[in-house]
Structure 1
Amino acid sequence: MAENPQPSTAAVPTGWRRVDPRRGLRRVQGSSIAILQIVVATTGAYAFAHYGLGHPAPLLAATVCVSSLGLVRDARPRRVLETVLGMLVGVLVAELLLLLAGSGWWQIAVALGITLVVARFLSAQASFAIAAAIQALIVMVIPANAPFLRLVDGIIGGIAALLVTALIPRTLQREEVRTGTAVYRAMDSTMTTLAQALRRGDRMRAERGLEKARALQAQVDAWSTSLDSGIAIARISPFLRRQRSELQRHERIRSHTDLATRNLRVIARRVVYLCDDATARPVAADTLTDLARGAQLVAQSLTDISLEPVAREAVRAVAGRLDPALLLPGASLGEQNLIAALRPLAVDLLAATGMTSAEARACVPRI
């Protein structure tokens, strides 16, 4: 008699997922300045238009503030201004159509069509056209007591949004430093994983290091966005005047770090290839570890400029040894190519410490 077949399904335990309020609190904390900006700008624009100019319902003064500022981290004055202009285009088109053709269902269609065509012609940003269309729709649907009254409200809202961008800076230096430090923390994890793979001849670990290296670009891009926003706001904010030179220094570090992460991906691919034979390579592992220590000092120099010379000397000491023939005499071509791939990484780290590209290249022995 045949045995009973095993069931093809199994019981899966179910239950309520535990709600973790910490994620929500972190989101609120990260958007706290943006929320303050929106509240101050919207309230101020509405109060000025309503009580100062006597506008009965300055809706657009409020909506322009909310839409142009938003909750995203990137609140550069140029981006805010572009969004404001997009909304004002929609308001202007709708106001002109109201004067010429009145309101109705077909007028709404015409207003939306013209607004989207004009907005797409003026800007490549899809959000620009959508913002313009929404404001045009509001003007066409909600009646007003006087022509072009809502255009004035929109201008007031735009001015208020730009003012709070300068007076209540959203991108603070500590946030940018936190983003940059996260990049170097991820770089250190990547380099540590690759060094362990070389020390053990572990291909799976090398592939994990390659995955980490490929994931670095998104973090570098986030740092770039944060820095660009901070530099743009510092140009117009009286409260960030002292941070301008420091932000420029961080931008120099970021640009060379971007190049370093790209070179690290090349190194990771070479490590994966080398580890295919499961042979330990302690010299290459130690060299990469020494470069990782130098990168850690570069990361610390983000908050302490006095560490830049220390980081420079640490990386320079490793760079001076990066002669494949001397470091690994008699080694295979693949191993020597790996050492050769470390040279651009060392040059980028040296440039991040303040050296010129020519000075950094001179620290690496000629081959």
Structure 2
Amino acid sequence: MRSGPDVVVVGGRIAGSLTALRLADRGVAVRVLEARHFPSDTLSTHFFRGDGLVRSLAEVGVLDEVLATGAPPLRCEYFAVDDESAAPGPPQDPGEVGFCLSVRRITLDSILLRRCAEVGVDVRTGARVVDLVREQGHVMGVFDDSGEMHRGTVVGADGRRSRVAALVGASTQERHPAARAMYYRYARDWRSPEEVGAEFSLVGDELAYVFPSDDDLFCIAISIPLADHEAHGDDPAGHLSRRLREHASLSQRIESVTWCGKAFTGRPTDSYLRQPAGPGWALVGDAGTGQDPFAGFGMDTAARQAEAFAESFVERPADWEATYAHARHERTLGGYEIATRFAPDLRAMLN
């Protein structure tokens, strides 16, 4: 009888934790290797949709805990163009749950990794993967930085700079050059409309966002063209404030907020599709699919790919690699194509 894991998941944030939880729910023995110790933050504007990550949170049993953080269900959204005012409209892709959410990653990632441990996943934090175990061309496991070997099918859920993707030599199937940069900062005392929802404002080729989030915080962000970032990237807080004043639907309210902490910069990065799987390995989330963050698809993509991998691995053991590759394409390529199509010119979304 096998005493170790069937699957070794490298990375314990959203993609990794959800992959582990989906597998564990199907009776698979899973070990998660996460390089950091939690709680741990990461760059993210953390907006996600009802039929994407929100649904997954409900299905793995943590949605009530997430809602208890104070993150309000976003049952509508506002989209203003130039100097127009915005009326409430339906939320994006609400699914059966009926709402979107915005939850800081330092909060959400900790909840998910803690849930993994609660359901019997072997969670190892502070464990950095440095090499693969290979036998006759197949990946059979990994070595961590202490020299310990972890045998099992390997899932790389370790982000854009995936160590697993590099070690297995995953090919890049498609790449688009960086087109935009993101600035964001947290604030209190934002005056939301009477019906609370996500707020978007498109002025020229820049898109501003306000996301009511957990702990009574608001994530206030702006996505700008690459050329604008190159001219102003050394002053993210100042540039964020100046640009928000050009958005008529937000400008008056921005003056009354209490800023909390520094401004963050999501630096320009290419969009890409990497080979999703090979003999003994797979990539989930940003490890395999990276798109410009202006569209906010990353967390939903991670959730859908985690589900797709678990289903493929358990239900089609003889050809799970090909099954997962097809499922990844069917469930998440649409969002990737939207993001890569419009990132160079957001005004094209209006046509």
Does the TM-score normalized on the shorter chain lie above 0.5?
A: no
Question: Shorter-chain TM-score: what band?
Answer: under 0.3
What's the TM-score once normalised by structure 1's chain length? Answer: 0.25
- Higher relative contact order (Cα pairs below 8 Å, separated by 6+ residues): 2
**Could you say which structure has the higher strand fraction?**
2
**Could you say which structure has the higher helix fraction?**
1
